[in-house]
Amino acid sequence: MNFKAHVIAEFLKGTIEGDPEVEVHDVSRIEEGRTGTLSFLSNPKYEKYIYNSKSSIFIVSRDFKPKNKLKATLIRVENAYESFATLLALYEQNKPKKSGISSLSSIDQTASLGENIYVGDFSVISPGASIGNHVMIYPQVYVGDQVTIGDGTILYPGVKIYHNCKIGKNCVLHAGVVIGADGFGFAPDAENNFKKVPQVGSVIIEDEVEIGANTTIDRATIGFTIIRKGVKLDNLIMVAHNVEIGENTVIAGQSGIAGSTKIGKDCLLGGQVGLIGHLKIADGVKIAAQSGLSKDVREEGQVLQGSPAFDFTTYQKCYLLFRKLPELRNQINQLEREIKTLNTKFGK
Amino acid sequence: MNFKAHVIAEFLKGTIEGDPEVEVHDVSRIEEGRTGTLSFLSNPKYEKYIYNSKSSIFIVSRDFKPKNKLKATLIRVENAYESFATLLALYEQNKPKKSGISSLSSIDQTASLGENIYVGDFSVISPGASIGNHVMIYPQVYVGDQVTIGDGTILYPGVKIYHNCKIGKNCVLHAGVVIGADGFGFAPDAENNFKKVPQVGSVIIEDEVEIGANTTIDRATIGFTIIRKGVKLDNLIMVAHNVEIGENTVIAGQSGIAGSTKIGKDCLLGGQVGLIGHLKIADGVKIAAQSGLSKDVREEGQVLQGSPAFDFTTYQKCYLLFRKLPELRNQINQLEREIKTLNTKFGK
Amino acid sequence: MNFKAHVIAEFLKGTIEGDPEVEVHDVSRIEEGRTGTLSFLSNPKYEKYIYNSKSSIFIVSRDFKPKNKLKATLIRVENAYESFATLLALYEQNKPKKSGISSLSSIDQTASLGENIYVGDFSVISPGASIGNHVMIYPQVYVGDQVTIGDGTILYPGVKIYHNCKIGKNCVLHAGVVIGADGFGFAPDAENNFKKVPQVGSVIIEDEVEIGANTTIDRATIGFTIIRKGVKLDNLIMVAHNVEIGENTVIAGQSGIAGSTKIGKDCLLGGQVGLIGHLKIADGVKIAAQSGLSKDVREEGQVLQGSPAFDFTTYQKCYLLFRKLPELRNQINQLEREIKTLNTKFGK
């Protein structure tokens, strides 16, 4: 399938610079551009590649000013990354999709199945489960008793969902995700052994949530662990019991949120961040990678770093001085010597 | 099923304050209390909710002094959390349980099976494996050659146990747990390529151990990786080859323990803690979240923080000063200026 | 099977000290040595055990000088650990191997299968997949559409490989590994909701790569995520989209590499290390455990520590002073007092 630059520009509501008739049949990364492919430039770090890339079309932002002349056709748009994503989505939608219910799956008679669903080999749908329309369940998935899966949701191979959990519409759960395992709750008994606190709650995942490979979300002790609409979780994240994550919050890989912590809307957590339990984080808060949060964050939009974390800009200043501690120490010792000299000179 | 306050109080050996005849049919979290439910108050952070909660009964500690008058019935006990857990356990025990051996599982003829076991769809029990009485094996579990599973143990969906590993009695392994994968051992050869060191040992997990979702415990190079009785491991933890974890030690999510390290009894590791290999940690040691341990800990009961970790209280003081480094630097510069003035005034 | 010391010494091209006729039938760790077993001594930390160990033979390095007399037979070699590994490899090779294609697996007719392969129960091989010779696919593995698996590769139980990914020869993927899940790419739309950026690339894993349990390697947005020949990844590592890891680089458990970062050859990353996206790391770089990298590393062989990371030796010095911050603060306060005294004495 070939597309001409002017067709793409029209679709993206972009403006053309260069030959509107040039054709592409594939996409490529800017640094690996080949003739006949389309690339995009969004991150300025990659601008250097545009001058040697062989891609035939580049999607760039409206205000991009090339430092050298470019042979390729440019399509200028408001947001190059978003427009490129739109094209990829179109490309994906036209791919053939898996369909049908495998005779090698195990579906309980009491489960309710929507229209036009896919169930792969060796997947299990347990008693009382309810599967929405157009749901795709890849092989080796486990859907526990009374679990609900909303319309259009995709469960990739090996996803495991424990009993009673609810997954919303148009969610994507990647391979190895575990939803609804027991929260980590133990109470010491008289002999100081730990006795398990039964975890009788469950998990609610709202619509449009994406969850990365091997991420785990534990069920609540009582009540619900809740992942709100539009949340995006990367791989290998741990969400403990009774946590709540607000709408459209994005969390990068390997972060962990301890029990009962509530994160607001539109927050952004870097990779390997840790939050202790029972915290409350305001909306729009940003936490730098590898930081650890041990206190509530009440002010919206705060940016934090450190372990424990505090204001990002202050952290940067402190860390800069941390790196200069040997110099600071020398400076202090020098002052000490000078004062000693002064004291000697003038007696005490 | 309804229960009256005085019946619950009697069962918990607690004392009643308020109407002993009030009835509940469910449990709820204190901040989400509804009429007809029972809640508990243990963490003082949640006390504020008790004054507006609609729960009909609260389990509280003997020394709890409400600041305002409460309508609900109080049941006073020694340890509110433990008593509540006891009630939940009772509730869990009365739930119907999975049973029977699925015709869609694959069980080798040479495996030995205990009484009253459950084996779910698409699970594999390999040659020579030995499954104790009352064991529950959910769907899609892999039990390797010669593996032993003790009485009453639960393997949730997708657990994978490699050959020769031994799991004790009354253990709980959550979905995605991997026991007995090869330890990470490579030796550089003459051309500086890494040659695999075969991992011919295995894993021993003693009784009453609980292991969270997607946690991995590697087999020993030679000998055993050992998880002692009563150990509780949270999700996404990594335990490397030849590690030993002492009785009743509790480790929070995403912590990692490198090869051959021995952790004592009754230790407590926060989340995202890392221990390098070949360490020895005394009994009762506590390590704060995100800390990294690079040295033996010989003194029992030490509390540590930092990366590398040292005494917790000292760390707190140091970190407080880290946060004040810009002020300290200003103070130093001010002193420098004053000394310069003094020096100028009085010559050198 | 018994082996005499002189046979082992000959095989390893080592020299014998002590009785060349002594026999062993098993291996043991030096600290758990039993009569009739062979142990090795490589890490000096373990030397103390050799004097009481009951092992009959020890493999030691040529320059090892025992402090006390030893009864056991010593076999001296260039590299004790490597020689021991060679023996273990021999031992492993002679073990019986799984073989045959299970009738309980699901193999698409359009998949191409090599000679002498093993496919376990409930594994799925999807349309267009290509499996090399001598490949071992344990139970419950998912091999997606058009996936290629090279000769001699082992996929342990529950490995999931998404469509179009390519795995090289003689690789080992441990249980729960996920290859080719979607990269974490989202672009905010006009209403500030996140819209998924389709991930249309895939993953290339070259020959001789080993990947630990539950590690995840995401597919590229466009192009490829690439793991070069001989790379060794430990458990629970996250490799994001479009990352490239150079030949023979070794990464310890729970480390994470964000999108589009390129790591050179022969690098060594400790456990729980984090790298932000779009970085370039030179060959032979070493990064201490729990460090975070936020900048390119251009100089080959650099050793780094910290979060963010900088030169290792400097970090060690800075951290030492961090631990002495309370003393430094006292020193500064003392100087301040002395200057105040001097100022008072001599006016301003």
Convert the pLDDT of each residue in A135-192 to its tens digit. Answer: 999 999 999 999 999 999 999 999 999 999 999 999 999 999 999 999 999 887 777 7
Residue A140 near chain C (CB below 8 Å): yes
| pLDDT of the residue at A191 | 78
Residues found in chain B: 348
Give residue for tokens 């306050």. B5
C14 and C151, same domain (yes or no): no
Name the domain boundary from A42, A72, A93.
A93
Over residues A247-254, mean pLDDT: 97
Q: Which of B110, B173, B182, B235 is the best residue to mutate to test the C interface, defined by the most C CB atoms within 10 Å of its own CB?
A: B182
A75 and A163, same domain (yes or no): no
Among A41-55, A97-111, B31-45, B185-199, the range with the most confident prediction by mean pLDDT is: A97-111
| pLDDT of the residue at B348 | 53
Q: Provide Rg for chain A, Cα atoms.
A: 27
A339 and A259, same domain (yes or no): no
B297 and B182, same domain (yes or no): yes
The count of other CB atoms within 10 Å of the CB of residue B336 is 16
> What gap in Å lies between CA A47 and CA A34, rounded to an integer?
16
Name the domain boundary from B93, B128, B161.
B93
A68 and A165, same domain (yes or no): no
| pLDDT of the residue at C348 | 53
Interface contact B214-C214, CB threshold 8 A: yes
Kindly give, in sequence order, each residue whose CB lies less than 8 Å from that of residue B120, ignoring residues fewer than 6 positions away: A124, B98, B102, B105, B137, B138, B139, B140, B141, B157
The count of other CB atoms within 10 Å of the CB of residue C51 is 12
Q: Which stretches in chain B have pLDDT values below 50?
A: none
Indicate the residue of B181, B332, B338 with minimum beta-carbon distance to C174: B181
Q: Which stretches in chain C have pLDDT values below 70?
A: 1, 347-348
A85 and A116, same domain (yes or no): no
CB within 8 Å of chain B, chain C residues 53-92: 79, 81-82, 84-85, 88-89, 91-92
Strands C194-196, C186-188: parallel, antiparallel or unpaired by DSSP?
Answer: antiparallel
Instruction: Give the number of domains in chain B.
Output: 3
B34 and B116, same domain (yes or no): no
Over residues A266-286, mean pLDDT: 97
| pLDDT of the residue at A189 | 76
Higher-pLDDT residue of B171, A68: B171
Catalytic (active-site) positions of C: 241
User: Would you say C124 and A122 are in contact if contact means Cβ atoms under 8 Å apart?
Assistant: yes
Residue C321 near chain B (CB below 8 Å): no
> What gap in Å lies between CA B267 and CA B284, rounded to an integer?
4
Indicate the residue of C122, C214, C342 with minimum beta-carbon distance to B216: C214
Q: What's the CATH code of the domain at C268?
A: 2.160.10.10
Domain span including residue B7: 3-93
Residues A207-242 have pLDDT tens digits of 999 999 999 999 999 999 999 999 999 999 999 999
B182 and B44, same domain (yes or no): no
Q: Whose CA is closest to C218, among C197, C195, C201, C232?
A: C201
Residue B118 near chain A (CB below 8 Å): no
A275 and A136, same domain (yes or no): yes
| pLDDT of the residue at C82 | 86
| pLDDT of the residue at A224 | 96
User: Would you say B238 and B254 are in contact if contact means Cβ atoms under 8 Å apart?
Assistant: no
Question: Residue by residue, what is the 3-state secondary structure of C147-166?
Answer: CEECCCCEECCCCEECCCCE
Please give the structure tokens belonging to residue C63: 């320059």
Name the domain boundary from B29, B62, B93.
B93
> What gap in Å lies between CA C149 and CA C156, rounded to an integer?
13
Interface contact C184-A329, CB threshold 8 A: no
Q: Which helix (H) or strand (E) holds B104?
A: none
Q: What's the CATH code of the domain at B44?
A: 3.40.1390.10
Residue B163 annotated to the active site: no
A289 and A309, same domain (yes or no): yes
B274 and B143, same domain (yes or no): yes
Q: pTM for the complete prediction?
A: 0.94
Counting Cβ atoms within 10 Å, is residue B16 exposed (0-12), middle (13-18) or buried (19+)? middle
Over residues A268-283, mean pLDDT: 97
User: Would you say B164 and B182 are in contact if contact means Cβ atoms under 8 Å apart?
Assistant: no
B83 and B109, same domain (yes or no): no
DSSP 8-state class, residue A72: S
Mean of pLDDT over chain C? 94
Query: How far is residue C103 from each of residues C80, C114, C120, C161, measured CA to CA in Å?
Result: 45, 17, 9, 21
Query: How far is residue A346 from each of residues A50, A85, A265, B346, C221, measured CA to CA in Å?
Result: 70, 75, 65, 10, 73
Share of chain A above pLDDT 70, in %: 99
Interface contact A85-C196, CB threshold 8 A: yes
| Marked catalytic residue, from A6, A134, A174, A241 | A241
| pLDDT of the residue at B163 | 97
